[in-house]
Structures are given as C-alpha cells and as structure tokens.
Structure 1
Amino acid sequence: MVTNKRLFQAYVSPCSEETPLKDRKAVSPVIATVILVAVAITVAVGVAYWMGGISTQYTQFEKVEIQTGYATRDTLGWEITLSLKNSGSATATITHVFVNEVPIDEAEYASSGFGTGIDQVDDGEMGTDLPVAGLSLQAGASGTVTVYIDYDYGTLSAGTTVNIKLHSAGGMDYIKLIRLT
C-alpha cells in the first residue's frame, strides 16, 4: 500500500524545498546584471566603430578655400590670380569661372603656346587659364587659377571690385571679391 507521504513525494515539483536541487546555488542577480551591462557596452562599442567606418566612406566632401586673390595691371588689362587649396576630404574639380556672374567661356590661355595670358584675350573679352576639363584638386592639394580681363571689357576700371566665382563639378560655388588696381 502506498502511503500519502510517498504519493506526495512523487508529485512534488522540482522547485520545492524537498528536492535535491536545494543545495545548488544560482548566479546572484547583481552578478547577472553586471554581466548583462558588460555585454551591452561591448556590443554598443562594436556598433559605434562599425558605423564610424561606414560613415566616413559616404560622407566625403569638397571644400575649396580661396587663400589669396589679387589683381595686377599691365598695358592690355588685368590679370587676377587666385590661390586655391582643397581642405575637404574629396577631390574637387573647378569647371567654370564667372566674373560678376558672367561665365568665362574662353579657357587654356596660358597653356596654348601663343603668348601668355592677357596677350591672347580678344579686345573687350575675358579669359582664364583653367583647363577645358577643369582644374582637379586632390584632398589637401593646392592650385592656381588666373583670370584675364581686357581693359575694354564692360565698364570696369581701376578701383572697381569684381566678384570672381569658381564653380565646381560637385555643384559648389567659391566666391572672392577682388579690387582691380
């Protein structure tokens, strides 16, 4: 015959005090919390480094600084020299030059071999030494752009301030005001 005590022991849950698991110890809640926080911080740092690596690949930018700009005068007109530096992280290509919002269509004067700069500009016109394909500046590189303006162009005279705008292939505009001497 089965006694009540034996029947009771047969149906006792494993969590009851009468089982042999009573002598086992579990991880305390404090230690479990510390381990969980350490794992979470490790994962967060890993994700931050990964996102940082991805963001630098897709967030390169061009930034051309016109460091100096000055105008010199000779017998035929003005020669405006601009010193540039690409302080951005991507290559910048200067494709167009504007004087007072008027585009200069004639380019490559200094490299054509038929004289230099202002000697080649037609009467009443403007020109630049910018290559037809544009002036490409790698990140950190410097360059120079020269603009030639004939004396007979428009109403310009000594003492006039002209707005020189450089336009890049990336759609950026870089502006410098130059006073003609």
Structure 2
Amino acid sequence: MTIAVAIAVALWMTGLVGGFTGTENLQIVNAYALATTKPGQGWNITLTVKNAGTTTATIDQVFVNGIPYDAIILTSTTGATTTTVPVSLGVSLPLTLSPGNSTTIQIFIPLGTSSALSFSSGQQVEIKLHTASGKTYPVQVVLP
C-alpha cells in the first residue's frame, strides 16, 4: 500500500512540476530573400516562425549579422546624391507568439554600406531572433 501511494504522489508531483516548467521552442520554418521590385533598392527577407514549445515566446530583438536591426543605418550614393536608409522590420517588437502559433517576419535590407556592414547580391546574411528568456534562434539567408 505504501509503495502504491508513493508512486501516486511521485506521478502527481511530476505533473505539477511539469505544469510550471514550460519551454519555448521557436522554429524558423521558412527563410528566403527576394530582391525588391525596383533594381538597386535592396532585399526583402521573409521568415516564417513557429512556436513549437509549451509556453509563450516573446521576440524582443532581431539581429542582422550580429548587429541589432534598428542600429543599422546604410548609406547609398547614386551620382551626386547620398541617401541614408535604415534596415526595417515589418513587425513591431516585442512580438509575442503563443504555443502552436506561427507568424511571418519581414526584414527590408537596403542596398548600401555602413561603417560595420555592406550588403550586396550573393552575400550570406545571418538573422538572429532573440527572445525575452535569453534564447537566440539563428538562420542564414543568401541575398539573390
């Protein structure tokens, strides 16, 4: 009888603890880059992200080649005109993703250079999604 009660208590405690220890697990299901419709403007990177975990995940930062996307300002010179364009994100952060749900994140990378980065056709770009829990989910995309 004592053994049966001990087993029942152990199973109950396992279920109780398991309810409090959910995990996030973002999966980047699809990642690709397309050149913009106007040649020489830049690229649109599309990421399809799914939360395959058991708890809500909050994406709080996006990095492009190790630099936060909102810190990248690129300059492009055409003739005598120099323009500055930031890398832009098609969603607002933080982005909350419930278990089992998916979302699409679009990142626009303009053609140009900065003091730390330069983007050109054929280049491999690393995109990292950072969550509020401290996890990072990387993906590599080649610019066409």
Superposed counterparts of 1:2-151, under 5 Å: 39-74=1-36, 75=38, 76-105=41-70, 123-132=84-93, 134-151=94-111
Runs of 4+ in 1 over 4 A off after TM superposition: none
> How far, CA to CA, are the matches of 2:30 and 2:107 in structure 1?
14
The answer to whether the 8 Å contact 1:72/1:80 transfers is yes
Give the helix-richer structure, 1 or 2: 1
With normalisation by structure 1, the TM-score equals 0.66
> How far, CA to CA, are the matches of 1:161 and 1:40 in structure 2?
62
Give the strand-richer structure, 1 or 2: 2
Larger relative CO (CA 8 A, sep 6+): 1 or 2? 2
SS state of the match for residue 17, structure 2? Answer: helix
Query: Unpaired runs of 5+ in structure 1?
Result: 1-38, 107-121
Percent of pairs with identical residues: 38
Partner amino acid, structure 2, of 1:126: V
With normalisation by structure 2, the TM-score equals 0.82
* Structure showing greater Rg: 1
1:7 aligns with none
The 10-residue stretch of structure 1 (60-69 or 123-132) with the greater mean CA deviation from structure 2: 123-132
Give the superposition deviation at 1:124. Answer: 4.2
Query: Unpaired runs of 5+ in structure 2?
Result: 72-82
Give the superposition deviation at 1:66. Answer: 0.4
> How far, CA to CA, are the matches of 2:2 and 2:35 in structure 1?
68
Give the superposition deviation at 1:104. Answer: 1.3
